[in-house]
Amino acid sequence: MSDSPTYNVWISSSQTTRAFTQYPNDSANSQFGATIQFPKAPHGHTYAMKCTAFKIDVPTGGATRGKWDPVNEPTTNLGAAGFGMLGISTQLGMGTPAFTAQSTNNALVNWFLEDPIPLALFDAETGDDMQSQWTLITPPLASSNILFTVRTSTATSFLVNRATGTNNLAPLDNWTACLSFKSMSNTALEQYYPFQPDKVSGGDITINYPATFPTAPISEILNNSSAVGTVQFDNAWLDLAKTASTGNIYWRSSYVTVHLGNTSGSTVYLEADVYHQITDQTSADPAVAFAGKTVEYTTASVTVPPDGGTTGRDFVLTGDDRGFYNTYLVFKVVGGSGTLPAGVVVEFENDASGTPSDVGLGASNGNIGNYNFNYYASPN
């Protein structure tokens, strides 16, 4: 096939947003599902697909690659794996098939299988020597549910790591792949179907791909509801910490809900200065905690009317914090200081242990503790 431009979809086991993970406690990167969209994809009635790039992190600390059959094998003393095989499934329990293969005969297990579709072979240890072939497929759905699976020479076994010394099951390292797609012209199809004109000109042309990239959905990525009671909301700061285990460090923060009450008798208008760095996380005084650090931006005003109880108030986060683990908010009166009127309270629990939880960590009214909060972001 000619070296013409392709539509490329990049997948990362550590960063691609997952719909589910098959073996989260054993080897999360060996098989997982994701919803893949195809904005700006070319129109067509038959496509070709190929894996054009693949890399996997090399095992460290003496670990090696192994093969594991979760149905028939224990998790101890696993056999070695010489190569890995990246495949995708579009029909196995994930709703309407995203597409079907038109030029693949998968006889790796027993008789002919349409799913999963083998995409690439590679050296198990290094990911080098990747080999892949073009596969004709039906047009992918504009929003497609796809299962990514990393197998071995035994097609029923998953590629995993083997722990140093014991060869017991350990999680597979992170990997990245590029899936390339072509919309096939009639001339190209004639080369594969030289005596089947219905395959060349038949079929409806798919034109349902959006012309622009879709807006990423906003999801709650962290929350806390265990704080008991309220305290005066005064000289307060909050740490919003993304979690490395879920891969959302490259998500963009959307907003945080803080639960506030106001018995002062007057409406209070609040805002927050936003930081990405902190000087002293043990200090309850924002002036000390963020001494010498630069304010990235200030949120829009949040209205806190007088009421009888606490209500969630949203502080909208508009900066680009992709790649930052931490976003810090220092709360204050609009255009003023962090000294708030008496009667403004927040759902917050002072920490008496000296080792507060990282979830909802912050300070208010001169004490370190934990907030009740809801933190939202999008994989934008």
Instruction: Spell out the domain ranges in the chain.
Output: 7-201, 219-378
> What is the residue-level pLDDT of the chain in tens, covering all 380 positions?
557 899 999 999 988 888 889 999 999 999 999 888 888 888 888 999 999 999 999 999 999 999 999 988 889 999 999 999 999 988 655 567 788 888 888 777 655 556 678 999 999 999 999 999 999 998 888 888 899 999 998 878 999 999 999 999 999 999 999 999 999 988 888 998 899 888 887 666 776 677 777 777 888 989 999 888 999 999 999 999 887 555 678 788 999 999 999 998 899 999 999 999 999 999 999 999 999 999 999 999 999 999 878 999 999 999 988 888 899 999 999 977 778 888 999 999 998 777 777 888 999 999 999 999 999 998 86
Among candidates 154, 155, 120, which has minimal Cα distance to 11?
120
Q: By the 8 A CB rule, do 94 and 119 touch?
A: no
In the chain, the N- to C-terminal Cα span, in Å, equals 34
**Peptide bond connecting 5 to the previous residue in cis, omega within 30 degrees of 0:** no
Measured in whole angstroms, the distance separating CA 357 from the mean position of its chain's CA atoms is 24
Among candidates 313, 206, 302, which has minimal Cα distance to 260?
313
Number of other residues whose CB lies within 10 A of the CB of residue 272: 25
Fold of 219-378: Jelly Rolls (2.60.120)
* Angle of CA points 72, 78, 84, to nearest 5°: 90
Percentage helix, strand, coil for the chain under 3-state DSSP, each rounded to 5: 5, 40, 55
* Angle of CA points 253, 23, 111, to nearest 5°: 125
Measured in whole angstroms, the distance separating CA 40 from the mean position of its chain's CA atoms is 22
Residue with tokens 């240890």: 125
319-347 pLDDT, tens digit each: 988 888 899 999 999 977 778 888 999 99
14-61 pLDDT, tens digit each: 888 888 899 999 999 999 998 888 888 888 889 999 999 999 999 999
pTM score of the predicted model: 0.68
Question: What is the distance between the alpha carbons of residues 362 and 233, in angstroms, rounded to a whole number?
Answer: 11
